[in-house]
Structure 1
Amino acid sequence: MAPIHMSLRRYILAALLVLATLVISLLSVLWTNSFFTGLDDMMRGTMLNMAQAHHPQPGHPIQAHNFVVASQWQDLPEPIRAAFTRQEIETNTLHKLVTRDNMLTRPSEARFVMFFATPDGQSGFVAHHFIAPKTSPKAWFQGPEMLGILFALGTLALFATILVMLMRTVTRPVAELHAWAAELDHHSLDDPPPVFRYHELTTLAELIQQSLQQVKQSLDREQAFVSYASHELRTPIAVIRSSVELLQRLDSAQCKKSDKALKRIDHASQAMVALTETLLWLSRKGQPLRDLKTVKLAELVESLMQDLTYLKQGKHIDIQLETDDYCCELPHSGATIVIGNLLRNAIQHTHQGAISIHQTQHILEIENYEYIGSEPPAEHSALHNTAGYGLGLDLAQKLCDELGWQLSIRHDAHRFCVTLVLSPQY
C-alpha cells in the first residue's frame, strides 16, 4: 500500500482544529450543565426555605409566592400529582418535569416537587408549578442551550482565525527556506545563507549549505581525480604507442613471433586512448566529444570481438553474429567504449551457453544465454542484477545518457539481453 503524502501545515492545522472542537464542545456542555445545576440548586434552596417558614396542617396546604407547602401528598395540586408519583419522590431531593417544544426553545411549563424532612421532625411536601407567561416569544438565541452552542461556535471561529494567522506566520519563513534551498546551485552555494525570523530555520539553512558544500567538494575531488588521472595516462600511452610503431618498423623476420603480441598491445593502447579521451570528456560537462568519424558498425563489432577472444579461453560458448553494412557518423571513442563493454560483459558472464549479436542499421542487440543445467560461478550468475554485472555496464549507461543513446536491459535467471539504439545525427 502506497504511503499517503500530505502537507505538514494542513496536518497540524486539522489536528489542532479537531482538538479545539472537542475541547470547546466539552466545555460548552459542561457550562450548560453547570448553569442548569445552579438553577436547580437555587430552586431546591428556595423550596427548603419555604418549607421551613410554613407549617401546614393536613388538608390545609399553604400557598406562598407560587409555592405550595403541604403536609401530605393528597394536598398537592393536581398538575403536580399527575406529573409525579409518591413512590419516586426521595427525601430532600428535587424532582422536576420541564415541558418545551424542542431542546433549543425556552420551557413553556415546569413542575417541581420535593419531600422535605427537617432535624426537628417536621416533614411534608413543597411544590412549584411554573407556566410561561403569554407574552411575545423571546429570540431563538436567548435560550441557555442555544447560547452555549453559539458560544462554542464563536470560540471555535476565533481559535481557527488565530490558528490560521499563526500558521501563516510560522510557515512563511519555512516557505522562504524552501525557495532558498531550491535556488541553490554551484554559483550561489558559497554565499552566506539568509537569516530567517526563527533561529532554528537559520541553523537548518546552515546545515543544508554545509551538507551541499561537502557533496560539491567530494564531486570536485572526484572530477579532478578523473581529469588528472586521464592527463597523466596520456604520457605512458604515448610511450606505448610510439614503441609499438617503432617495433613494427623493424625487420619483419625478427618480429614474426611477436607480431600477435604487438597487435594486442596496439589494440589495447588504442582502447586506452579512447578511454582516457572519453573520461576527460565526461569530466568536462557541456563540451562536445570531438572525435566524430564515419563508423561501419559491422567492422567495429567484429574488431572488438577479435580483441576479446582471449576471454573465451576455457569456456564453451556458441557465438552467432549477424550484421549489415550500415555506416553512420558517431563519436568513435564513445561507440568503442560502449559496444566494447557490452560485448566484454556478455563474454565474461557466459561460461557454458550462447551469445547472439544482431546489428540492424543503428540498433545493436546483444543476448547471452547460459544453458540450463550449467552452474556458473555465483559471482557471474545472471541471477544477479545489473548493478553486479560489471562496472563497464555502468560506464556504458552513463555514456549513453550523455550522448543521447538508448540502452535497455532485460534479464532473467539464465538470459541477459541489452539493446543499444545509437543516434547517428549526434
Structure 2
Amino acid sequence: MAKIVLLENIHPSAVEVFTAAGFDDITTHAGSLPPDALRDALQGASVVGIRSRTHLDAGIIEGLPDLRVIGCFCIGTNQVDLDSAMAHGMPVFNAPFSNTRSVAELVLAEAILLLRRIPEKNLRVHQGHWDKSASGAFETRGKTLGIIGYGNIGSQVGILAEALGMRVIFHDVETKLPLGNSRAYPDLSALLAEADVVTLHVPGGVSTENIINEATLSQMKRGAILINASRGTVVDIAALRAALDAGLLRGAALDVFPVEPKSVDEPLKSPLIGLPNVILTPHIGGSTMESQENIGKEVAEKLVRYIQGGTTKGAVNFPELPHQDLAGASRILHVHRNEPGALATLNAVFAQRKINIVSQQLQTKGRIGYVLTDIADPADPALVDALRQLPITVRCDLL
C-alpha cells in the first residue's frame, strides 16, 4: 500500500479522498520542512502532496527512489523541478481550476475598494479623521476593465465584472474566444491606454517577466488602477512605485511579489509598504475555505487515479493518458526514454515470455514515453525485473 505524505496544512478533504480510496498510510505536516527534515519525512513515500512553500529540487527528487508521483495542491508548479521529476518517471499534478472563483472575487473586490478610495478612507478614520468627500471616488459601473491573460481566472474576472456593469477588454498571446460582451485587444498598448483598471492573469517565466515596467506603465491611462494576482515577477515594483509617486496611477493592489516572506512572522520587504493607495495581501488570492476544499479534492483524486490506474490526464510534465478500466489480470506502468523502437523493445519482453497483451496505451512527451500495458495473466516479479533491466527503462511499476 502506498505511503502518502502531505505537507503545508493541506485541506482535510484530501485525506478524505485517500481514505475513501482505501489508503490509510497517510502522514500530514502543518507546514513546510527544511531540506534535511523534508528528505527524512519523504523516505519511503510513494506520494507527496505540497503547496507553494515546499521546494522539491533535483537533489531531493534524486534521493527519493520510492517516490512515484507529486501533487501540488495549488495552481503553480514552480516549486518543483519538473524536468527532474520527468526524468525520474514522476508525473506532477496541480489544481489549475479550483481557486478560480476565489481569485476572481478578490480582484473585483480590490477594484471596487480602490475606485472608491476605501483603503485611504479607512486609514483616515483610524487616524481620527472624518473625511466624507466624494473627490476621486467612482463607481465600477461604466468603467473599463483590461484583463491581461484571458485564461481560466482572467475570463472569470471578466464575467463577474460585466455583472457589475463594467466594459471588459482583454489581451492574450493566444487567440481566445471572448465570453459575454468582452473584446479581444491584440495590441497591449491599446488596452493599457483605455482601461480604468488593469488586472494581470499571466503565467510566470521569462516571457512574462516585468511585462509591467516603466514603458508599459507610461502607456496606461492616467489615473488607472493596477492589480496583480498572478505572479510576483510580472511587475517591476520599482517602476510601479515611481508611477504611483508621480500620480500616474490612482492605486494598485498586489497579492504576489518577486520575493515573498518564508514564514508568518517575516515581514514583506517592498518599496510599496506604507502607501495608502496600495493594497498588499499575502498571496491569498486562492485562500478561501471553499477553494482549499476543492483543491484538496481535485489533486487528491488525480493522485488516486494515478496510483490505482496509472492515469496521467492533467499532469503538467508527463505524457497524458486518460483513464481506462483494467482489461486484463495485471497492469504494468512503463516509463522509457523516447527513442525509436522503444515500444518494440518493450513488447519483445512480453513475447519472449509468451505473455498476451490485452490492451496497451502509449504517449510520449519530450524525452520520455509512457506505456500502460494490461496483460491477460497475473504478472510475476521476474517480468517486472526484466522490464526494469531494459536500457530504455526509466521506471517500471506493477499495479
In our comparison, the structure showing a higher alpha carbon Rg is 1
Give the TM-score of the pair, scaled to structure 2. 0.19
Greater relative contact order, per chain length (Cα 8 Å cut-off, separation 6+): 2
Give the TM-score of the pair, scaled to structure 1. 0.18
